[in-house]
A and B are shown apart, each in its own frame.
Chain A
Amino acid sequence: MFSTPKMSILIAVLILWGPTEASADERYKPIKDEVVSKECGACHMAFQPQMLPKRSWVKIMDELPNHFGEDASLDKATSERIKKYLVSNAADAGWLGGKFMRGIKDDMTPLRITEAPYWIREHNDEVPSRAWSDPKVKTKANCLACHPRATRGNYDDD
């Protein structure tokens, strides 16, 4: 049955496609909405919405006046627009949950990406604890310190 031309094409496609998928493992869709990039990127890197569930983004956007110890309030129209974008691109926005949904139980609403079980697993195995106190890193919110292409959604670097 593998001798049919259709089958060999399929096998060829799978062989070629497989490795590309594997090397592009830690890629996330870059943020396309300018307002989202600008407002979310004013104080920290604008994190890709695929890294938290919908309910987390709703809570974060509803609590902007106390955003991790700072007032990050926005006018209603702007915050609603941003919330809509974040929710429709969240980790659980597709019918197949994104990998950031792994280990997140139904009653969990993580507010920090660094609290998501997937993030913790990916970093615990590879990053020694002294790296976090490096003066160039300082905070776990500083993705760009180790992932220089993070803004474009590329976290492949190890």
Chain B
Amino acid sequence: MKNLSHLIQQAALLCCLVIVLSISANAASPQSILGGYEAEAKIQDQHFQEFSAKRGQLLFQSTNTTGKPETPSCTTCHSKDPSSAGRTRAEKEISPMALSRSPQRYNDLKKVEKWFRRNCKSVLGRVCSPLEKGDFITFMINQ
């Protein structure tokens, strides 16, 4: 009997371990995503030092004419204040960009990359550089 309960306990522990490991394999943290962009930024520019929240803020607030006319700025949909919710052009609410208001953000590299790909194209008419992505996230995680 004692042996059996010991076995069950061990099996339960093993199950927990497997679950924890499989979750952490898919999830990333804002820091690990930034780490990836930092490595890419260093390849593009040997003089890269660090990401800048100030540059990220300027990018977020910039008005552009190179992208699609419907979306000249990130703020067109995300609102000027990263702590406020935004609205898509089809009137769907977008959760705030500031990490403090939306802790679920910047945790999934695939998702982060998907939205940079789409929105940099829509707003700037081109892909964003690793430096721009890192600056942007640095600004948002400090908000």
Contact = CB atoms under 8 A, between A and B. Distances in A.
Interface of A: 41-45, 65-66, 69-74, 137-139, 141-142, 145
23 contacts: A41-B92, A42-B92, A43-B88, A43-B90, A43-B92, A44-B88, A45-B90, A69-B69, A69-B71, A69-B89, A70-B68, A70-B70, A70-B71, A71-B119, A71-B121, A71-B122, A72-B118, A138-B91, A139-B90, A139-B91, A142-B90, A142-B91, A145-B91
Contacts of B118: 70-73
Interface in B78-132: 88-92, 114, 117-119, 121-122
B92 A44 contact: yes
Q: Is the contact region of chain B dominated by helix, strand, or loop, or is it mixed?
A: loop
User: Most chain-A Cβ atoms within 10 A of its Cβ — which of B70, B117, B118?
Assistant: B118
Contacts of B71: 69-70
User: Most chain-B Cβ atoms within 10 A of its Cβ — which of A41, A71, A141, A145?
Assistant: A71
A73 B120 CA distance: 12
Contact of A70 (B91, B114, B117, B122): B122
Contact of A69 (B70, B91, B114, B117): B70
- The bracket for how many chain B residues form the interface is 10 to 19
Interface of B: 68-71, 88-92, 114, 117-119, 121-122
Contacts of B114: 74
User: Most chain-A Cβ atoms within 10 A of its Cβ — which of B68, B69, B91, B117?
Assistant: B91
Contacts of B122: 69-71
Contacts of B119: 71
Given A44-B90, A70-B71, A71-B118, 13 more contacts: A41-B92, A43-B89, A44-B91, A45-B92, A66-B68, A69-B69, A69-B71, A71-B121, A71-B122, A73-B121, A74-B114, A137-B91, A139-B89
Contact of B89 (A45, A70, A73): A70
A73 B68 CA distance: 14
Contacts of A41: 92
Contacts of A65: 121
Contacts of B88: 43-44
A43 B91 CA distance: 8
Nearest to B88: A43
A141 B90 CA distance: 6
A65 B69 CA distance: 14
